[in-house]
Amino acid sequence: MVFSVTQNGEKLSKDKYTWDEKTKTFSTTESNLVLDFSEYDGCTFKTGGSCTFKTGGYCTFDTGDSCTFDTGSECTFDTSYDCTFKTGDSCTFKTGPLCTFKTGDNCVVVRRDVYEVIELKEGQKIKLKDYQEKGYTIIEEKQKEEGIIELNGKKYKLIE
């Protein structure tokens, strides 16, 4: 199987990370990475911040802040603040504030800064409130209207 790791659009030098094929563990102190491990399940990632991950399921993440995750099911995340998650079912999140979640079923968020546990609802998108402020906001996703486009704030109906 193949994976890719880039930084600022360039392939990350192998001397800047370690990859243990046996344990499927990727480690680096680097930030601003794009990691594509979509063919892999059961990986462990230890990275700096501002990284984007695409993985299979059953993964564990220990990262800095401002990361984006697109994963399969049953993953565990231990991150800092301002991260975005789009996952499958049965995930556990230990995060700071300002994170956004859209998950499958049986997922939970543990807020470390305010000692709060939030049970996520499948398909519902939420954003955590600011540092030291309990709670979250539900984000309503706009439904796209069939045959309608929007330009400069005005809606137009497409006609064949």
Q: What confidence tens digit (pLDDT) does each residue in 40-74 have?
A: 899 999 999 899 999 888 899 988 888 888 888 88
Q: What is the pTM of this model?
A: 0.73
Residues with Cβ within 8 Å of 84's Cβ and at least 6 positions away in sequence, in order, are: 67, 68, 69, 99, 100, 101
Q: Which residues pair with 61 in a beta bridge?
A: 45, 77
Q: What confidence tens digit (pLDDT) does each residue in 78-110 have?
A: 888 888 888 888 888 888 888 888 888 888 888
Domain total in the chain? 1
Q: What confidence tens digit (pLDDT) does each residue in 107-160 have?
A: 888 887 888 898 888 888 888 888 889 999 988 866 556 677 777 667 777 776
Domain extent at residue 68: 4-157
